[in-house]
């Protein structure tokens, strides 16, 4: 059954690669920056959750395959920084939490033809590396109590990607999502962590570097979606310059080592895209 399904998918991908609409550019680069809101909870450090403002910097570049013009290879690097704080609380213990994320991604996408003019659909697979860390300024040597611990994790994952493109004159509208199929890496254990750091730096580093987790989409579900509009600013024989406005949405719901982690992020980004013909 699985073999048949695999063969069917291969046949389908092969056939669409022959008939699919070809891309009208050979490579592109994109730089963007964004701002948005984030709600985040992590049972190991902030179980009641915190709201915050998140900032994003992103770089993407892509190249059309020379062998198959319907296939595109993409690289993306993204960094998010969030400042999380509950407003309006009376206690002086209410300190901000700083949260940072880095994501590096390599993606291979394929155009899937649809019988509608100006419409294309891309589907593909990616491989990403993700790092996340949270830190609270109370975590210093001056506070024995009320010292909220930092947290962090890193993992690699194969991701599925899906994208819809629609071109209308100078505008290109896109929508899509990606989600990791499984994750492998380091996630914080329930209540186990290195016990001391002095005289022990090597083994502490080793503990955080060594992977301790392999989880499927059922334990780590993340949905990373976007809607964007690109407008052609400049067109020449060799290249095109677009401005891009993106609304992105990210939702995470995971439970690994009995530590649940939930996140909801909504952002608006503005970027510039250069496409070479």
Partner 1 sequence: MKRLLFFIPILLFTVSSCRDDIVVKNTPENVFLAFWNTMNDRYVYFEEKKINWDSIYTIYYPKAVAAKDENELFSIMSEIVVQFKDSHLYLAKSSTEGAGYLSDSTSYYYLVPIMYYYGFMPYAKYYDQYFTTYQYATKNYAYVSYSSFAFKQDISFVISTLDSLNLRDGLILDIRNNGGGYLDNALELASLFYAGEHTVLYKTPKMSPKRNDFSNPIPVKYTGRNIVPGTVPIILLTEARTYSAGNLFAYIMKDLPNCITVGERTGGGGSPIMSEYLPNGWVLNYPYIKNFSSKGVNMENGLEPNVHVNYVLYKDTIIDIQLKKAISILDSINSRRR
Which residues of this protein are in contact with partner 1, per CB under 8 A? Answer: 39-41, 43, 45-51, 86, 89-94, 114, 116, 119, 121, 138, 141, 144-149, 164, 166, 173, 175-177, 189-193, 195-200, 223, 225-227, 249, 251, 258, 262-264, 266
**Cα dihedral value 193, 215, 127, 83, nearest 10:** -50
End-to-end CA distance of the chain: 43
Instruction: Choose between 103 and 263: whose C-beta lies nearer to partner 1.
Output: 263
Instruction: Choose between 48 and 218: whose C-beta lies nearer to partner 1.
Output: 48
Report, in Å, the least distance between residue 86 CB and partner 1. 6
Give strand pairing partners of 98: 83, 135
Evaluate the CA torsion angle 175, 179, 181, 183 in order and state its sign: positive
Asked if 118 and 108 count as a contact pair (C-beta separation under 8 A), the reply is no
The three-class DSSP label of residue 12 is helix
Residue 216, both tokens: 């499927």
Total residues belonging to the chain: 277
Report, in Å, the least distance between residue 40 CB and partner 1. 7
Instruction: Choose between 31 and 249: whose C-beta lies nearer to partner 1.
Output: 249
Asked if 190 and 258 count as a contact pair (C-beta separation under 8 A), the reply is yes
Report, in Å, the least distance between residue 103 CB and partner 1. 18
Report, in Å, the least distance between residue 38 CB and partner 1. 9
Report, in Å, the least distance between residue 123 CB and partner 1. 12
Q: What are the distances in angstroms from CA 2 to CA 5, 8, 15?
A: 5, 10, 20
Report, in Å, the least distance between residue 46 CB and partner 1. 6
- Element (H or E) spanning 216, and its range? strand 213-216
Instruction: Choose between 6 and 171: whose C-beta lies nearer to partner 1.
Output: 171
Report, in Å, the least distance between residue 47 CB and partner 1. 6
Asked if 226 and 245 count as a contact pair (C-beta separation under 8 A), the reply is no
Instruction: Choose between 1 and 198: whose C-beta lies nearer to partner 1.
Output: 198
Instruction: Choose between 227 and 241: whose C-beta lies nearer to partner 1.
Output: 227
- φ, ψ (nearest 5 deg) of residue 16: -70, -25
Distance CA 162, CA 181 (A): 13
Instruction: Choose between 119 and 277: whose C-beta lies nearer to partner 1.
Output: 119
């Amino acid at each position: 059954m699985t073999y048949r399904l695999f063969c069917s998918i291969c046949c389908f991908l092969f056939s669409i690669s022959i008939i699919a609409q070809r891309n009208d550019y050979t490579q592109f680069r994109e730089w963007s920056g964004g701002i948005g809101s984030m709600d985040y909870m992590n049972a190991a450090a902030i179980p009641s959750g915190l709201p915050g403002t998140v900032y994003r910097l992103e770089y993407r570049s892509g190249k059309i395959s020379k062998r198959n013009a319907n296939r595109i290879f993409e690289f993306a690097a993204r960094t998010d920084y969030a400042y999380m704080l509950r407003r309006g609380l009376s206690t002086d213990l209410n300190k901000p939490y700083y949260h940072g994320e880095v994501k590096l991604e390599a993606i291979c996408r394929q155009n899937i033809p649809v019988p509608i003019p100006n419409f294309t659909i891309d589907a593909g697979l990616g491989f990403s590396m993700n790092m996340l860390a949270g830190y609270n300024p109370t975590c210093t040597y001056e506070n024995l109590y009320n010292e909220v611990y930092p947290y962090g994790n890193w993992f690699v994952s194969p991701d599925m990607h899906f994208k819809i493109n629609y071109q209308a004159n100078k505008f290109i509208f896109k929508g899509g999502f990606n989600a990791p199929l499984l994750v492998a890496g380091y996630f914080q254990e329930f209540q186990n962590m290195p016990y001391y750091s002095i005289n022990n730096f090597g083994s502490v580093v080793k503990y955080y570097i060594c992977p301790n987790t392999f989880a499927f989409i059922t334990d780590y579900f993340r949905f990373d979606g976007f809607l964007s509009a690109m407008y052609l600013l400049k067109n020449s024989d060799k290249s095109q310059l677009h401005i891009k406005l993106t609304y992105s949405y990210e939702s995470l719901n995971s439970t690994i080592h009995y530590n649940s982690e939930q996140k909801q992020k909504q952002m608006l980004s503005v970027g510039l895209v250069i496409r070479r013909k």
